[in-house]
Amino acid sequence: MKKFDKERVLLGLAAPLLAIVAAFLVTALVLAATGKEPFSAFGIMFDYGVKSDSQVYIINKATTYYLAGLAVAIGFRMNLFNIGVDGQYRLAAFFAAALGGALTLPGFLQIPLIIITAMIVGAMWAGIAGVLKVTRGVSEVVATIMLNMIATAIIGYLLQPGRLGHLDSAGTKVSTTPLPESARFFDFPTQPDPVWGFLIVAVLAGVAYWFTLSRTRFGFDLRTVGQSGSAAEASGVNVKRMVVTSMLISGAMAGLIGMPTLLNDSYEYSGDFPVGIGFTGIAIALLGRNHPVGIALGALLWGFLERGTGKLEFEGYDKEIVGVIQGVIVLCVVIAYEVVRRYGLKRQQRQVGEKLAAQARNSDNQEVSA
């Protein structure tokens, strides 16, 4: 059986590697076709990506992406497509920032309060889609897309001077009231730039995700629903409740996405708070195959690509190439995973069939000789 496993690991690694190689090939072709020299571009990206400040940047970026990947992955493990992570984290970060700006408590109270607010808001927003799905049969894909748009409108309405918005002194930027010093999360004093302390929370979230899914009854039930809703139902899982619960958890996790930025970086929610990370999360969850370690690697890869292409612009390339690389990676990776999955399944069936046939032959022979 051990050998079996080793081959499975190999197969598991084959897919993402294939995809990344394919992506770089395609990108090289695109670069070459548009009259740029591809290999020095990759050289620049790589050299730059391994510099110490780049590493800090990548880790900080990856912290956010990792949380996004986890939030999406929870849904995916359930076969739920939470396209709404995007709206959930924005709404969550917005309310958390508004609350954080309004209060001045000691840090040990205020920071958890902000984080919990974000998680609750994210969970509630995702929960709407969950409830609509189980009670009214509305596809979560459509519901979460609508909710994303509605979240944008709500934030737009509330983020106005006179409501929850706060106009800066130059009169050009509205944001929530900036968080007081006490509400800022700690940094690791790395050089030259600090690594965000929220990394710790992300790591903990990853461990919790792994442990819950693979070591607890709840996680087993959740995965069961993801693999076969009908079998889960028959096995005693309350599928409807599980749908709502996992949407809530996914939303709560989504609530964390905006926190590294809010608590370690911007300290306020304004019009330029990052958008679209929910969709990045989808890409990263796909890349990491919903596995906590895989998602981490995916998040780091994304951070690396963004860092590296930032340098490309410095060297006269168009940094928009990063979109091409990322897009190709995602498309290749989903295809590669599927091909490998199917191949693995077929191969295993065949192996099992052959082994059993061999056993049967052996026993037949023995009977004959007996």
Stretch 308-367 residues interacting with ligand ATP (CB under 6 A): 349-350, 352-353
For the segment 149-178, give every residue that binds other proteins (CB under 8 A): 149-150, 152-157, 159-161, 167-174
Q: Which of residues 210-239 bind ligand ATP (CB under 6 A)?
A: none
Q: Which is nearer to other proteins, 90 or 248 (CB)?
A: 90
Please state the φ and ψ torsions of residue 300, each to the nearest 5 degrees.
-65, -40
Out of ligand ATP, other proteins, none, what residue 286 binds, judged by CB under 5 to 8 A for its kind, is other proteins
Q: Which of 291, 256, 301, 5 is nearest to 126 (CA)?
A: 256
CA-wise closest residue to 284 among 295, 272, 273, 268: 295
CB of 329 to other proteins, least distance (A): 9
Which of the residues 97 through 126 are near other proteins (CB under 8 A)?
Answer: none
Radius of gyration of the chain (CA): 24
Q: Pick out residues in 286-305 that bind other proteins (CB under 8 A).
A: 286
Q: Which is nearer to other proteins, 105 or 142 (CB)?
A: 142
- Contacts of the segment 215-223: beta carbons below 8 A, 24+ positions apart: 222/77, 222/78, 222/246, 223/77
E strand or H helix that includes residue 41 = helix 38-49
Of 332, 330, 244, nearest in space to 281 by CA: 330
Restricting to residues 306-335, which ones interact with other proteins according to CB under 8 A?
306-307, 310-311, 313-314, 318-328, 330-331, 334-335
Binders of other proteins in range 60-99 (CB under 8 A) = 60-61, 64, 81, 83, 90
Spatial contact of 282 and 74, defined as CB atoms under 8 Å apart: no
Contact between 204 and ligand ATP per CB under 6 A: no
Q: What amino acid occupies position 92? A: A
**DSSP class of residue 174?**
E
Identify what 363 binds: other proteins, ligand ATP, none; CB under 5 to 8 Å per kind: none
Smallest separation, CB 339 to other proteins (Å): 6
Question: Do you find a cis peptide bond into 178, omega within 30 degrees of 0?
Answer: no
CB of 132 to other proteins, least distance (A): 5
Of ligand ATP, other proteins, none, which one does residue 182 interact with (CB within 5 to 8 Å by kind)?
Answer: none
DSSP structural state of residue 321: H
Q: Which does 250 bind (CB under 5 to 8 A by kind): other proteins, ligand ATP, none?
A: none
DSSP string, 69-132: HHHHHHHHHTT---TTHHHHHHHHHHHHHHHHHH----HHHHHHHHHHHHHHHHHHHHHHHHHH
* Residue 217 binds to other proteins (criterion: CB under 8 A): yes
Phi, psi of 35 (to 5 degrees): 75, 25
Residue 313 interface partner, choices ligand ATP, other proteins, none, CB cut-off 5-8 Å depending on type: other proteins
Q: Is 361 in the site for other proteins (CB under 8 A)?
A: no
CA-CA distance, 338 to 216, in Å (whole number)? Answer: 27
**Residue 136 touches which member of other proteins, ligand ATP, none, C-beta under 5-8 Å by kind:** other proteins
Q: Which residues are near ligand ATP by CB under 6 A? A: 349-350, 352-353
